[in-house]
Chains A and B, each alone.
Chain A
Amino acid sequence: MKFTREILINTVLAALLLAMPFAALAMDEPFYVTLATRMAILALAAVGLNLALGLGGLVSFGHAAFFGIGGYAAGILSTHALNMQPLLTWPFEIESSEQMLVAWFVAVAVSGPVALAIGAISLRTSGVYFIMITLAFAQMIYYFAISWPAYGGEDGLSIAMRGTFPGVNTAVPLSFFLICYGVLMVALLLFACVRASRFGAALQAARQNETRLAAVGIGPFPVRLVAFVISAMVAALAGSLYADLNRFASPSMLSWQMSGELIVLIILGGTGRLFGPVAGAMLFVLIESVLGGLTERWQLFLGLILLGVVLFARGGLIGLVAGKSRHG
């Protein structure tokens, strides 16, 4: 593989994110460890969305649904484990668990079928319809969560104890960061694999020219559906980590703002780029904490920055630094 400027930037970004919590601890600023963890988790969610949006051109404005499902998976498991209740009693009994790996599994196992159902309906349409329908379905799940009192309703669900991980004390912020960072790196590796694979070729062709894809005998619908489902599962995994980070599964994880923010992360970083979501998440959390420290009205300035990026800098951050992307 050629050593391009983009690879250099990616390496720098990965190193920067990894170095941040260590530097924070060295300077006795533990708050920045949390910030770095937030970056890693949001980047993970955005890597998931990038699969659908960046590679497949599927502008899902509903990925908060999957992010939130992951969050509630962690929250519900933790609640049941705390109360020593089984997770399910019918049709068969499933014990609850405080294991983080179980929460991840549940997040992925629940979000997959939900994404399959939402995708199967939404992907019958395209363009603006797809945007509005994914937004609507996410809103449906949001309203379901706040109207279902067993798991907190509008108040959300607190997590008394962060999930456990074999051999790691997850209550230590740095350890938890390293878990999140590790998952993010694995997700990036998978993204790179998928992008280069036959499936990735078909998915990207579906975005560029779906007639061409069909004319060679590959139906665009199943390709897009599979991408949508994988994308949702990665977002759910991120959601489960996010709830563990905050020790709280909040309905706001399911909100339309969250869906919007995930798209914004990708665009800030650069659509379809491997490290676009990482750059975007780092930039976003940085803007949030720096501007948020200066003014309560930081979202106003975020809006202006975003408007500027959309109108004038369409390649995002990595596009600005690395130049136009090239494919095979």
Chain B
Amino acid sequence: MAEPVLSIRELRKNFGALKATDNVSLDLKPGEIHALIGPNGAGKTTLIHQISGSIRQDSGAIEFLGEDVGGLGMAARARKGLGRSFQISSLAPEFSALRNVMLAQQAAQGSSFRFFRPVMRDRSLTDPAMSMLERVGLAGRARLPAAELSHGERRKLEIAIALALGPKAFLFDEPMAGMGPEGAKDLTGFLDGLRREAPILLVEHDMDAVFALADRISVLVYGRVIATGSVDEIRRDPEVRRAYLGEHT
């Protein structure tokens, strides 16, 4: 069996008395989509924040490509190849869609301390950024400021930015949120192909998408992983049905 790309061991995070992350261990293997599901407030986004480095864990280890990244900042982890999308779209609002992707492209190429060459005339930035936008179907909106894009378009732009980083693993936090049934279906197809480039840790509420995409599912309730397994195993798991799926039926 292949070594996991991302491996989280006994992660804990408390906010006061609230155990937001309670002894969570999980891993992400090459080529897989590992879905993280759980009711609202289960601590999914908090977990993603700790993996990406915007929140520091209280204890536990985060290993990425065999290296402990638990002490690194967000920018350093991104440079190592953790590509992340945000639950609430987080873009440079004044920049065009193209420039948002170009920013990621420039980061992926290395130093940003270059002061003279205009980025808009730098084909090594514009061309790949444009092709990322084409891949997510935003090529026609490339010149529009991110602030003027629709909600669904911003979600796609988030993904284009993550793609431009050429990451070794994707962290997607509810990419389908607010996409509408058509958009969600398109995106499901897109993510299905994406796993061949890098494995995806996917936080998602859209169960159709999760069941269609996931190789494995972990169920998070009150900060704890109560079950991990294949789609069928999770569907059959009585504890999951009681704690989680029960709420929806």
Contacts of B161 in A (CB 8 A): 216
Bound-state CA distance A236–B86 (Å) is 41
Establish whether residues A216 and B104, one from each chain, have CB atoms under 8 Å apart when the complex forms. yes
Question: Smallest CB–CB gap between A12 and chain B, Å?
Answer: 24
Establish whether residues A205 and B90, one from each chain, have CB atoms under 8 Å apart when the complex forms. no
Tell me whether A202 is interfacial, beta carbon within 8 Å: yes
Tell me whether B118 is interfacial, beta carbon within 8 Å: yes
Establish whether residues B96 and A198, one from each chain, have CB atoms under 8 Å apart when the complex forms. no
**Given A211-B54, A214-B75, A215-B84, A201-B94 contact (CB < 8 Å):** no
Establish whether residues A208 and B92, one from each chain, have CB atoms under 8 Å apart when the complex forms. yes
Establish whether residues A218 and B112, one from each chain, have CB atoms under 8 Å apart when the complex forms. yes
Bound-state CA distance A328–B101 (Å) is 12
Establish whether residues A204 and B95, one from each chain, have CB atoms under 8 Å apart when the complex forms. yes
Contacts of B113 in A (CB 8 A): 198-199, 222-223, 226
Q: Give the B interface residue count (CB, 8 A).
A: 43
B76 touches which one: A205, A219, A223, A226 (CB < 8 A)? A219
A293-328 residues at the B interface, CB under 8 angstroms: 326-328
Contacts of B225 in A (CB 8 A): none
Bound-state CA distance A205–B99 (Å) is 10
Establish whether residues B108 and A217, one from each chain, have CB atoms under 8 Å apart when the complex forms. yes
Establish whether residues B118 and A196, one from each chain, have CB atoms under 8 Å apart when the complex forms. yes
Establish whether residues A202 and B115, one from each chain, have CB atoms under 8 Å apart when the complex forms. no
Per-residue CB proximity of A188-201 to B under 8 Å, as 1/0? 00000110111111
Tell me whether A4 is interfacial, beta carbon within 8 Å: no
B106 touches which one: A201, A215, A326 (CB < 8 A)? A201
Establish whether residues B90 and A211, one from each chain, have CB atoms under 8 Å apart when the complex forms. yes
Contacts of A201 in B (CB 8 A): 95, 99, 102-103, 106, 112, 119
Tell me whether B165 is interfacial, beta carbon within 8 Å: yes
Tell me whether A89 is interfacial, beta carbon within 8 Å: no
Task: Write the residues of chain A forming the contact surface with B, with a CB cutoff of 8 angstroms.
Answer: 193-194, 196-202, 204-205, 208-209, 211-220, 222-223, 226, 326-328
Q: What would be 18 A-B contacts, judged by CB atoms less than 8 Å apart?
A: A194-B116, A196-B119, A197-B119, A198-B113, A198-B114, A198-B122, A201-B119, A205-B103, A208-B94, A209-B91, A212-B92, A212-B100, A212-B103, A216-B108, A216-B161, A217-B78, A219-B75, A327-B94
**4 closest cross-chain pairs (CB), A and B:** A217-B78, A196-B118, A219-B75, A217-B79
Known: A198-B117, A204-B94. 8 other contacts (CB 8 A): A197-B115, A197-B117, A198-B113, A199-B113, A209-B93, A212-B90, A214-B78, A328-B98
